[in-house]
Chain A
Amino acid sequence: MRYDSITDAIGNTPLVRIDAAVHGLRNIDLYAKLEMLNPFGSVKDRPAWHMARPLLSEAAGGDGTVVELSSGNTAKALALLAGLNGLRFKSVTNRMRVPEIKELLLLLGAEIEELPGRSECLDPTDTDDPLTRFHQALSEPGSTYLHTDQYFNPRNVEAHATGTGPEIVKDLDGRAPDWFVACVGTAGSSTGVAKVLREHDPQVRVLGLVADKSDFIPGIRTIDEVHQVGLFDPATYDSIASVTSQEAIDGMVTLIRRCGLLSGPTGGAAYQGAVRQLAAVDAELAGTGDRQTAVFIVCDRAESYLSYVRDRRPELLGRTRRGHSSASLTDAEIRADARTVAVEEARQWLARGEPRPLVIDLRGPHAYATLHIEGATNIVDEVFEELVRSGLPFSKRTPVLLACPVGEKSLRYAALLTRMGHPDVRSLAGGIVAWRDAGAPLVRE
């Protein structure tokens, strides 16, 4: 297929049936709308393009900055659209909770401003919060900000009412599904799709999924946050249920490992929530001979959420590493195998030792540059851990003095290197702190 612009590739995403052997619903056909296959990678490509298009045509060639409150896919799509049009993009967000997304946005050229945490010493009369200042800056005369305002902009809903919704109906041979399951973020996709489906068939039931209040699922708001969304109308949903991050990951793993769908946690939450809610419906349908159809949205892809999974389900990613590791030593092994040397003795050793011992400073490079023992080599502990994993990084004929801040890490490594066969490695007792406290000389770089 040939396009003049990547934006022409937005939309017309596949609707894929999930195998009944996977979801276990005997009387319901469950379909996934693969919004992750949009060119910028998510369901947000549609509203981002639809909201930004009129602003971009006005601002073309000017000195504008597209701004949005987004920490995820909307920011990603807008950053790319802004770049396409020679404009800048700035995202103002609460904490960026998924580091890969933050780095990806920086790669896309986005400027990110993170809002501060809540005030600890509360002043109930304070009106000067950064979000208020943000809105003031937008409305200042002469402002070159182009604010897409995804939580309040009706074009967010319209993008789905003219795109996602009709596509689903078309792919189901002109019929609306009996069930539509959507995670509620900006409420744009659920509101837009629900509107179209109900026009076709007022009997369509719409299930909204929100995150548990103390939980975090990317792209899904909690029930309180949903109330702050301008596009959210409770009447859109026949019911609202909550899902947890554990369910989201369970669903994601099922979609990935059983269905060949490289879904992120938001899609996983939609799948898991759909199956959970439809199970009761499925039981009622049993024996009636009726079949029903349900559709959920796979919002985006898995790759950006590895750290999200690692934090919550490390066993899904983790294999223990092989090789030598200081972490594998017990306290008894450390006591038995590590040699230490006190500050005064170490100074003598450095002055008179033949050959002179190699001094390895295990602290961070900045601390090393600030003050260190003359002649020391800096190998920061993380790097040292990797070096020794596969073998001794220096000759057994060279004696070694290991130094860290208080002589704790150096003790572990002294034990480890001794167990690896080094005949003369010693840990500086009390570390650099003891060295300083004894008045021994430290030099700066």
Chain B
Amino acid sequence: MEKDAPLYLRPRVQPPLAALLGEVRFLHSLVDALGSPLNVLLPEVVAENAARFLSVYRRHRLSGRVYFAHKANRSSALVRRLAGCDPAAVGVDVASLGELRHVLACGFTGDRVMATGPKDPQFLWLAARVGATVNVDSADELRELAGLVRGHGLSRTRVLARLSGFESDAGYGGVGTRVLSRGSRFGTPVAEAETLWSALEEHMDAVELIGLAYHLDTTGLEEKARALERCVLLMDECRERGLTPGAVDIGGGFGVGYVAEAAEWESWTTALSEAVLGVRSPLTWRGHGYGLRAEGGTVRGTAALYPAHRTVAGPRYLDELLSRPAPALGRSPATLLLEHLNDLYIEPGRALVDQCGVSLARVLEVRRTNDAPDRYLVRLGMNAGDVSLEEHGVLVDPVLLPRDGAPGGPDGDGAGGGRPVGVHLVGNLCLEADLITRRLVYLPRLPRAGDVLAFVNTAGYAMDFHAHQAQRQPVARTVAVTQDAGTWRWCPDEDYWPLIHPRKGSS
């Protein structure tokens, strides 16, 4: 085995993001002007992604809405671009008062907004006031909402009832097996739904049940198909009680493929097991095992890694979920939804902003590590909070953008030639733990101070979710870029509006 061959995890890059990465001078000029780190977003792509999800709806003859889970990214440009999409087909899911205010300011009307997550009274009041749909977690939250509606003379508020605990649900047996699931602290367990139905009946003057919701944190289609089918059946129970739900909200979790080649992902994960067993040199900072450990020559534990190569993700994942036979009734979830006259709501976050953004960092310093002569430390003008790959277990190589010259890639020859080299990417905080990734990253050649590293596909959770101002290091600015007849244009995120060419006539 060639133990020292570079183990790449090269990112999946599609147009127009691929074209943008080719604009090396343009990207350098942005970092020169706006500083490192810098987030760059492609708002057009989010609209294209929404269209891809909606084409899956069309294929299955389903109606309903795609709600963008705003928490995946703080950007205004992305939300404004989505606000410009078909109001009947595209909405937004907000999880805080701040997000709700933001989307309203970005052009979403209240009827296109879904309020989810933990809610304080101010959040509930504003959601009800603007006619948003409230995704209620519990009977208590429902009562609180009903009280606000009555007490403040608000109009009847549309709600979805969020359910959980499908695993221990005994209804509609005959499936034969039990699928275990991770517990969730959100939603009302199906076994306790009776209290929720009673509360909905009691407060029918203040709230209107328009559907049932769930979100399961899993990549498993089987668990999701079971929950979806259960919701369709529960909707019928609700109708028998005189409630009038019409939509099933299946949440998010459609996934993103970060790594382009399955073979690279497989080699790397195999090598991680071998490194943990000690049969090859470490692939990570101080032999970190990402949750794997060796015990008596056997690998134990589970790798806490996002499955970075996905053959089925995003809209295709939705398609698969809708197409496979559901466990109890045997019809596909798409057929069940259609036959029971239900709309489908989804709340993609990560998958909707796939290929929408890139995080740029300037290389500040390059030096040899003390312990291995052929490895280097590359210090960047960013920290682990600015591109939070480790927080989400996402492993992918950055793209090297040389100060002068063509984009570097393992296939091209970067400026000055050079050989592949293993580097540790360290951040700008005065902390031993501030590593952009604990993985030993192979670059096509050794970077130089002044080069830029581009972390691709960070718009979903990895861009600003964990960004902070610790140590007074600058927080990344965000710009929106658009392509206009072959020319790339940019504007600050807060200045973007979904007009055809931002800054047209001003450049």
- Cβ-defined partner of A118 (8 Å) among B180, B219, B298, B299: B219
Which residues on the B side are within 8 Å of A432 (C-beta)? Answer: 339, 341
**A366→B331 CA distance, assembly (Å):** 10
What sequence of 0s and 1s flags, for each residue 84-124 of chain A, a beta carbon within 8 Å of any chain B beta carbon?
Answer: 00000000100110000011001000011111111111111
B177 near A124: Cβ-Cβ < 8 Å = no
B176 within 8 Å of A (CB atoms): yes
**Does chain A have a CB within 8 A of B306?**
yes
Is B407 an interface residue, CB under 8 A from the partner? no
Given A95-B220, A113-B178, A118-B218, A406:B298 Cβ within 8 A? no
Please, which residue of chain B has its CB at the minimum distance from the CB of A106? B176
> With A96-B177, A124-B391, A228-B299 in contact, do A114 and B339 touch (Cβ < 8 Å)?
no
List residues of chain A with CB within 8 A of the CB of B269. 224
Write the chain A residue with the least CB distance to B309: A214
Known contacts being A112-B176, A364-B339, A367-B339, is A405 close to B61, with CB within 8 Å? yes
Contact residues of B between 251 and 290, Cβ < 8 Å to A: 252-253, 255, 262, 266, 269-270, 273-274, 277, 290
Asked if residues A124 and B273 are in contact (CB atoms below 8 Å), the reply is no
Q: How far is the CB of B212 from chain A (nearest CB, A)?
A: 15
* Closest residue of A by beta carbon distance from B304: A124
What is the CA–CA distance of A96 and B176 in the complex, to the nearest angstrom? 12
Determine if A408 and B298 form an interchain contact, defined as CB atoms under 8 angstroms apart. no
Task: Please indicate the chain B residues that have their CB under 8 angstroms from the CB of A102 in the complex.
Answer: 176-177
Residues from chain A with a CB closer than 8 A to the CB of B253 are 120-121
B39 CB to closest chain A CB (Å) equals 21
B503 close to chain A: CB less than 8 A: no
Query: Which residue of chain B lies nearest to A130 when distances are taken between CB atoms in the complex?
Result: B180
Please tell me which one of the listed residues B222, B240, B305 contacts residue A117 in the complex, with CB atoms under 8 A apart: B222
Question: Contacts A116-B223, A119-B182 known; A405 to B304 CB distance under 8 Å?
Answer: no
A119's contact among B218, B331, B335, B390, by CB below 8 Å, is which?
A: B218
A114 touches B219 (CB 8 A): no
Partner among B222, B299, B392 whose Cβ is within 8 Å of the Cβ of A227: B299
Residue of A nearest to B296 (CB): A230
User: How far does the alpha carbon of A121 sit from the alpha carbon of B252 in the complex, in Å?
Assistant: 10
Q: Evaluate contact between A117 and B220: CB separation under 8 angstroms.
A: yes
| B338/A405 in contact, CB under 8 A | yes
Interface pair B221/A117, CB less than 8 Å apart: yes
**A116-B220 contact given A229-B298, A433-B341, CB 8 Å threshold:** yes
Contact flags B381-395 to A (C-beta < 8 A → 1, else 0) = 000000000111110
How far is B180's CA from A230's CA once the two chains are assembled, in angstroms? 25
Q: In the complex, how many angstroms separate the beta carbon of A226 from the nearest chain B beta carbon?
A: 9
A230 and B295 alpha carbons, distance in the complex (Å): 9
Cross-chain contact B297 with A233 (CB below 8 angstroms): yes
In chain A, positions 404-439 with a C-beta closer than 8 Å to chain B are 405-406, 408, 432-433, 436
> A185-218 vs B: 1/0 string, CB under 8 Å?
0000000000000000000000000000110000
Q: Which of A124, A130, A223, A368 makes the CB contact (< 8 A) with B390?
A: A124
Q: Cβ of A173 < 8 Å from any Cβ of B?
A: no
* Distance of A368 Cα from B236 Cα, bound (Å): 11
Taking each of B180, B218, B252, B393, which has the highest tally of chain A beta carbons within 10 Å of its own beta carbon?
A: B180
Bound Cα distance from A266 to B279, whole angstroms = 29
Residue interface bits B173-186, CB-to-A below 8 A is 1, else 0? 00011111111000
B336 interface residue (CB < 8 Å to A): yes
B273 to chain A, nearest CB (A): 5
Known contacts A112-B177, A124-B390, A224-B269; decide if A436 and B341 are in contact (CB<8 Å): yes
**Interface assignment of A126: CB less than 8 Å from any CB of chain B:** yes
Most buried by B among A118, A126, A371, A444: A118
Interface status of B507 (Cβ within 8 A of chain A): no
Q: Is A345 an interface residue (CB 8 A)?
A: no
Measured between beta carbons, the chain A residues less than 8 angstroms from B273 are 224, 227
Contacts of A125 in B (CB 8 A): 304
Measured CB to CB, the closest approach of chain B to A368, in angstroms, equals 8
Residues of B close to A121: CB separation below 8 A? 217, 253, 392
Q: Is the CB of B61 within 8 A of A406?
A: yes
Interface centre among B177, B236, B253, B304 (most CB of A within 10 A): B177
Give Cα A153 to B306, complex, Å: 31
Known contacts A124-B390, A213-B270, A370-B236; A95/B178 CB under 8 A: no
User: Is A366's CB under 8 angstroms from B341's CB?
Assistant: no
Contact A129 B335 (CB under 8 A): no
The answer for the CA separation of A159 and B330 in the assembled complex, in Å, is 41
A432 to B338, CA, bound (A): 9
A120 to B233, CA, bound (A): 26
A6 to chain B, nearest CB (A): 25
| Interface flag for A44 (CB, 8 Å) | no
Q: Collect the chain A residues with CB atoms within 8 Å of residue B299's CB.
A: 227-228
| B254 CB, min distance to chain A CBs, angstroms | 8
A residues within 8 Å of B by Cβ?
Answer: 92, 95-96, 102-103, 106, 111-126, 128-131, 213-214, 223-224, 227-230, 232-233, 363-364, 366-368, 370-371, 405-406, 408, 432-433, 436, 444
B-side residues, CB < 8 A to A, are: 61, 176-183, 217-223, 233, 236, 239-240, 252-253, 255, 262, 266, 269-270, 273-274, 277, 290-291, 296-300, 302, 304-307, 329-331, 335-336, 338-341, 390-394
Top 3 A-B pairs, shortest CB-CB distance = A117-B220, A367-B339, A112-B177
Given contacts A117-B218, A124-B290, A364-B331, 12 further A-B contacts (CB under 8 A): A102-B177, A112-B176, A113-B179, A113-B180, A116-B180, A118-B307, A119-B218, A124-B392, A364-B329, A366-B236, A367-B340, A370-B340
8 contacts between A and B (CB under 8 A): A114-B178, A114-B179, A120-B217, A124-B391, A230-B296, A363-B339, A432-B341, A433-B338
